[in-house]
Structures are given as C-alpha cells and as structure tokens.
Amino acid sequence: MSDDTDSDTELEENYYTFLNLPKDATAEQINAAYRKLSRIYHPDKHMEGENKHKAEMLFNRTKKAYEVLSDPHKRAIYDSVGEKGLRTDGWELVHRTKTPAEIREEYQRLAQAAEDRKLLQSTNPRGNVTISVNATEVFSPYDDSEMPNVEVSSMSISQSIEAPITRRDTVIMSGNLVSTNGNGSGGFVVCGRRLLNKGWLELDLGAGNGLLMAAKGGRTLSPVLSVTGGTSLNFREHGVLPALFSTLSVQLDKHTIGSLTLNASSQSAMTTQIDRSNDKCAWSTSFVIGSPHIYFSVAYTHKMIENELKLKVAAKVGTFGFLAEYGAEKKVSKYSSVLAAVSIGVPTGVILKFKIVRSQQTYVFPIHLSEDIVPAAVFYATVTPVIVWFIVKKSIIDPMLTERKNIENEKIKRNNEQRMNLRRQEAAAAIELMTHTYERIVNEEIERGGIIIAHATYGCLEKNGNFRADACIDVKIPLQCLVKDGSLILYNASKSDLPGFYDPCIGEDKVLRFEYLYNNRPNLMEIQDVEGVRLPR
C-alpha cells in the first residue's frame, strides 16, 4: 500500500510461527518443518477437486515461508524489517550483494532515501510554551484575612520550523516571545544548516534584542571523538557582545559519553560532564566553573520500560546554594508523555513543575509554592501530582486510550478485511486437510501414553473468565497436529499464524486454553497469546 497509515496497520505474516519454529531455527529445523507441512498440504496428496484447491492454497503459503527462511539473504531482510522489506522498491540491487549484512545496509539505504523524500515534504515544527505561576502566598500569606493571590509571573513561547532545501541543506526559522511581570521581549532567528562530510555547518542571523550573527559547526574526528563550536556577535544599543563556545565529546565506552565545554561570553564557564545511559537507568554528572557561580550537579533516572515510566532524582550544590529535585515521567501514548517534579532549594524555595510533551510540542508549568522550604509546601507538592494523575487517568486518559485502541482496531480490521477472510478460509481448509494426520497422531499418542488434546480454544476472554462467543475458535485439531513424539512445543509468538489458527479478535488480548491427557492423566493449560510452552514440563 502506498499510504503510510495503511502500511502501519497492515497485518504481516509470521513465517516462523506458521512453520512453528524459533527465531534462531537452523537450516535442518526449517527443512524438517517444511517437509512436515508438505506431507499434509501437498496437492498430489489431495486429488479431489475442492480439497486439491485448498491444498494448493496452503502449500503455496508453506512454500513461501520456506523460500524466505531457507534463503540467507531473504531471511536477513525479513528478520530485520519483516515482509515490508521484501516488498521495498529498489531491491533489484539485492542480486549484487553477497551477505545478510550487505542486504541490511542496502535496505537501510533505500529506507533512508524514502525517509529523505518524506522529510522534504515536512516542516518538522517544534514548539515550547512555558507559563510560570507564583503561588507563594498560599503557604506564606501576607494577610490571613484575604484570599491568597495566585498570578502568572512570566510566560514564554518559542516555535521553530525546518524547511529542507536539499538532502544536505536545511533552513530553520525560529522565534520566541517572553513576558515577565508585564515587560515583554522577543526575537527571530533564521538558520542555514548544511551537512558536510563527517560534520555540519550552520550560519545564524537574528533580530530582537539587537542584531545577532552567529556561526556554528561540528565534526566527527574519530569513531569516539567529536567536536562542536561556534561564535556569535550580538549588536546592542550600548555595544557589541561577543560570545565563543566549544565542546569536545568522547565516547568513553558503549554507554558512556564525556564532554568538556568552554563558553566565553558575559557569563563565561567551563563545564565537565559525563553521561551514562542503558536500558535500565541513566546517570549524568557535571562540574561547572564559571561566572557568577561554581557548582556540581548529578542526576539519575530509573527506567521502568514495561510500565513506560521514568523516576528521576537530581541534586545541585554550589556557590548559589543548593537544589534537589525528584519526579516521574509517564508515557501516556506513542507520542505523548507527562512529567511532574518537585524542586526544593535555597534560595529558590519549593517549586512544583508539570510538563506535557505532545509529539514535538512541549508545555511547561512551573508553580512557585514557597520562597522558603516549608514542610506543608513540600508535602502538597509531592501529593498533588499523584492525586491529579489518578483523577486525570481514570476520567480522561483511560477512556481516551480505550477509544483510540478501538478506533485503531477497527481501522486494522477494515484495512485487512480481505486478508482476514482469506485467513479464516485457510484455517478451515487446513483443519479439513489435517484430518488424516490428526487421527494418525492421536493413535500414536494413545499407544505411548503421550499428549492427547481433549479441548482447545483460542480467543478473547470475558471478565468472568469465559471465552467471548464471537471472538474465539476451536483449535483442537491443529493443536494436536503440532504434537510430535509425545511433546508439544510452541514458541514466543502470536498463535494466530499457526496452521489452522487465525486471529478472531484483532488488536485484543488473546489466550490459548486447552485440556489434554498425558499418561492418561487430565491437565488444563492456559497461556497468553505470545507466551511459549513446552510439554511435557
């Protein structure tokens, strides 16, 4: 499909699951799985007209899966990017390559070319809105007889857009407006950026608080070393303010980057920083020697990937005083997240900060609760975000996500209606063609006291634990046909691609529940859709 949205919702077949193989299957395992299904579906074994047609349909699907997984080049593409990689325009070059690594590189080149074309049609807008609220009178009122005064102390708005000219050249236009205690200012900057060999160059021209001219650039010196730098001139009414900065970055190891930054301006500083990040956590430490302050800061982020949650703590101490901050960031959708943080320090006092990120738009709301460290302000700053999150999640976010999921599921069903009808027909045909194999396996398992499937259902459950009548299918026969020599192995993948299965409730959580006999003893098993199982245990 040419439409990007349709491509995102198109269901792709899992060749490994159809052959009931693990992702690291060997060539021998692939050949054995192919031979097993070929004995069931080969058209020569079904000479009757209707059955022969069904066998041809399923044998072609088996053959397609085998052709992809048995070819190292095609398998490398499929493992990297799925079926869409095999359908990517420009793969005529694939015959000139020799290794899976080269094929991945070729796909990346083709994908990058497509991304470049998409980029040329995008302005990539970015924005930031910050609204600062002064609520210090709530905890330190001037007069107990009057209502505390809560006011917006400052507001800033910034916006930028990118206009790609060529693959290497981009024009960036940005502007900002700032209002503090009734006094306003603003500025506008136009940047021209060009990508060079192992680097980039940028020229800036701006107006607002005087004319601004700047030149910046960066270059990769080695696989572990890079440098950026620049200079600017700000022409103001009473003179020219020059500035110069340079940053040297070093890749210390796979997860750690160190940097040294020199900044020479009206507020000069030298900064040494080390950042370390992995899948579970992130550390950042920095030491700044400058004017007017010298300080040391450290920040730690704990990543809870399964819950899409990040817990953050930070501390800063120096000649200005000290500052401690703790908070949490929660991802609420694919492109949106919310953050709440409490800042406690001297001389800043207590500040509660909310941040909402939606795509590339950011909204920040710092609320100054107290100029001193007041226990009541700290308590309410900590508890309020939790209460607000609970209320908003239950009343707004959960219903919104449920509705969005339902819309997405309906979209997937519409875009794949024809394909799903074919899958249902294939599943029914597969079960019909499995009859003789099923009877043979049952007889063999009875003789050895092995695994005999009594009942098997695949689909969605209701709250009472029963299967929804319109969202489940009987898979007793296809599940029995996966039993071999007294054992049943299912791998960690959706069961909907197994022969004789299909997805009866797209986009919803599914389970496979089955009753079976082993050594003539009854057993009950229930597994999640992507959960693996190996019987006997």
Residue 92 confidence class, pLDDT cut points 50, 70, 90: very low
User: Does residue 409 form part of some domain?
Assistant: yes
Distance CA 143, CA 122 (A): 54
Share of the chain above pLDDT 90, in %: 60
Residue 272's contacts (CB-CB under 8 Å, 6 or more residues apart) are 258, 259, 260, 286, 287
Read off the DSSP letter of residue 475: -
Q: Which of 108-122, 176-190, 313-327 has the highest mean pLDDT?
A: 313-327
| pLDDT at residue 117, as a whole number | 58
Domain that holds residue 46: 1-92
Peptide bond into 536 cis (omega under 30): yes
- Answer positive or negative: Cα dihedral of 483, 40, 469, 455: negative
Q: What is the pLDDT of residue 125?
A: 83
For the cut 70, the answer to whether the pLDDT of residue 91 exceeds it is no
CATH of residue 71's domain is: 1.10.287.110
pLDDT in tens, 74-87: 888 788 777 776 66
Please report which confidence band the pLDDT of residue 260 belongs to, taking 50, 70 and 90 as the band edges: very high
Stated pTM of the model = 0.61
pLDDT at 401 over 60: yes
| 85 within a domain of the structure (yes/no) | yes
pLDDT tens column, 303-325? 998 888 999 999 999 999 999 99
437 domain residue, yes or no:
yes
Tokens read off for 438: 């099923």
Residues 477, 500: contact at Cβ < 8 Å?
A: yes
Whether 129 maps to a domain, the answer reads: no
Q: In this structure, is residue 5 part of a structural domain?
A: yes
Residues belonging to the chain: 537
pLDDT at 219: 95
pLDDT for 105? 66
* Domain boundary pick from 75, 92, 109: 92
Q: What's the number of domains the chain is made of?
A: 2
Q: How far apart are CA 33 and CA 24, in angstroms?
A: 14
User: Which of 48, 73, 92 represents a domain boundary (last residue)?
Assistant: 92
CA–CA separation, 36 vs 19, rounded Å? Answer: 9
Distance of CA 213 to the CA centre of its chain: 38
Among the candidates 41, 75, 92, a domain finishes at 92
Please report whether residue 45 resides in a domain.
yes
pLDDT for residue 335: 81
Give the whole-angstrom CA distance, residue 527 versus residue 484. Answer: 20
12 in any annotated domain: yes
Secondary structure class of 328 (helix, strand, coil): strand
Average of per-residue pLDDT values in the chain: 87
Residue 422 lies in a domain: yes
Residue 156, CA distances (Å) to 130, 177, 180, 341, 354 in order: 5, 6, 9, 20, 15
